[in-house]
Structure 1
Amino acid sequence: MWGETFTGLRVDQFGRLLRAVRERGGEGCGWGRPWRLPVAERVLLALEPVRTSQDVVERLWIVDGALVPVRDRTVGASSRNYRFPAKVQVIVDAETRLVVAAARLVPGNTADAKAWRDSGLAAHCEGVTVLGDGAYINTGLIVPHRKRPGRPLLKGKEEDNAQHRKVHARVEHTFSRMKNYKILRDCRQRGDGLHHAVQAVARMHNLALAA
């Protein structure tokens, strides 16, 4: 039980690991003083910080922006898709699909990278890996590999991009579910009411997903 708690490995997995360590000479010390602790306890001590670090590494969030049609022309901007859209950026937990944070709306023609830098969302993401699409280049986020003119991407990078698209689709699905609420299809709120409307929809989305 203690082994699984500290290492994340089941008893049988921990046993196989110990056998592998012993087969590779883990019982001996090579040189210097002999080990005071038995090999099982030494392996446990080695794995515990790895487990702790892995818990942090596995936290993955996704950010993206979407257009919301609004009536407030001080926030909206002319667009081909909507008459006066505003852009909202949302961070989603890749594992749970829950909305972690939503930024205040900005004019719809604002570039995603600029909206990210100005939003303050980065402060919510300290210690967490955040994934964004190609519009977030040079922001410190994980973005797809870019293809250079006349030079195809290497197979490994193509595979990375395919996995990136698969994971990034989760935030797009979240936007799709959030837009089931009419207020995000034609938001008549103004000023801070726009942000409050998005926050309310995000909370209702999370409650529905967790139910």
Structure 2
Amino acid sequence: MKGLVDLVGRAVPSFHRRRGRPRSLPLADAVTLVLFVLRNNATQQLTGELWGVSQATVARLCRTLTPVITAVLDQATRPARRIRRGTLVPVDGTLTPSWAWKNTSGMNSGKHRRTGHNIQLAADLRGRLLAVGRPLPGARHDSTAYRESGLAGAIRTGIPVADLGYLGTDCRIPHRKPRHRPLTDAEQDANRHHARLRSPVERAVSHLKTWKILSTPYRGPLDRFGTALAAVAALEIYRSRGPF
């Protein structure tokens, strides 16, 4: 935590005012407040009561510090996110729920039967998060979301490994059952090996969704969800890999 506060403090030295009205919270408390909101998907009013500040102050701190946290952690973890050419990279998609927005089309996922965003992510073979694509409407199919989210470009030096939902992409997928015969023993063995290669990304999804802003319905403006997702992804990479 102290390391993160130091990184943010160097990025926004103006946060420590020497003149004029002092800040409502010191930087360490302000960073903790932002992390609390992301971890618990807490309302700004409740967070303000816990920290003894107004809801407007909570909104301002989240709006100001969330992109800063993302930027400093992206810089700090850049060496760890480099993918050697030819490395196997498990890929998967997941739905992060949100409230039903009547004026926004395409958010309802028929597969999951709820509204939300389709999130594409990649992990290493130890289950540590490598990259997360841009959020897309929940109705988007995984194969389309993989290309449109930018994840394919982010891991282009690796060999992506995915399930049958990524048919038609550059991902390695398991054998499909032919129409007129069952899978051979060799094909079944290959599919079992393929499933073992994919299992780390499922662990990465589970770790990412311990941040409740991604696992419980997102209540903020939809145009700010990408900022929250980027911050959580950066924090999860930093947590699993440590400072560099």
Q: Please, what TM-score do these two structures have when normalized by structure 1?
A: 0.66
Matched-pair contact (CA < 8 Å) for 1:72–1:191: no
Shift of 1:78: 5.4
Task: Tell me the amino acid that sits aligned with residue 77 of structure 1.
Answer: N
Residues 178-187 or 198-207, more deviating:
198-207
Name the SS of the counterpart of 2:85 in structure 1: helix
Which secondary structure does the structure 2 equivalent of 1:56 belong to? Answer: coil
Higher relative contact order by CA 8 Å / sep ≥ 6: 1 or 2? 2
Among 198, 205, 212, the alignment partner of 1:168 is 198
Matched, 1:147 2:177: yes
| Cα distance in 1 for residues equivalent to 2:166 and 2:227 | 25
Among residues 44, 65, 68, which one is paired with 2:93 in the alignment? 65
- Change over 3 Å in CA distance of 1:164–1:83 after alignment to 2: same
| Compared CA separation, residues 187 and 82, structure 1 to 2 (3 A) | farther
SS at 2:118 equivalent: strand
Q: 2:163 aligns with which of 125, 133, 144?
A: 133
Q: How many residues align?
A: 155
Residue 218 of structure 2, aligned match among 179, 187, 190: 187
Residues 120 and 80 (structure 1), Cα distance of their counterparts in 2 relative to 1, 3 Å cut: closer
Deviation string, structure 1 residues 112-145 (Cα, Å, up to 9, x no partner): 1111122222222223111111000111110011
Note if 1:210 corresponds to 2:238.
no
2:231 aligned residue: 200
Q: 2:136, 2:149 within 8 Å by CA — same for their partners in 1?
A: no
Counterparts of 1:107-122 in structure 2, within 5 Å, are 107-122=137-152
Aligned to 2:121: 90
RMSD between aligned alpha carbons?
Answer: 2.1
1:77 aligns with 2:112: no
Cα pair distance change 1:199/1:168, threshold 3 Å: same
AA partner of residue 217 (structure 2): D
Shift of 1:72: 6.5
Q: Which runs of 5+ in 2 are unaligned?
A: 1-83
Please list every run of 5 or more consecutive structure 1 residues that lacks an aligned counterpart in the other structure: 1-54
- Could you tell me the percent identity over the aligned residues? 30
- 8 A contact 1:133–1:144 mirrored in 2: yes
Conserved 8 A contact 1:62-1:130:
yes
Q: Distance in 2 between matches of 1:195 and 1:162?
A: 35
**What is the DSSP-based 3-state SS (H/G/I as helix, E as strand, rest coil) of the residue aligned with 1:163?**
helix
Give the CA deviation at 1:106.
Answer: 1.4
Note if contact 1:61-1:93 (Cα within 8 Å) is conserved in structure 2.
Answer: yes
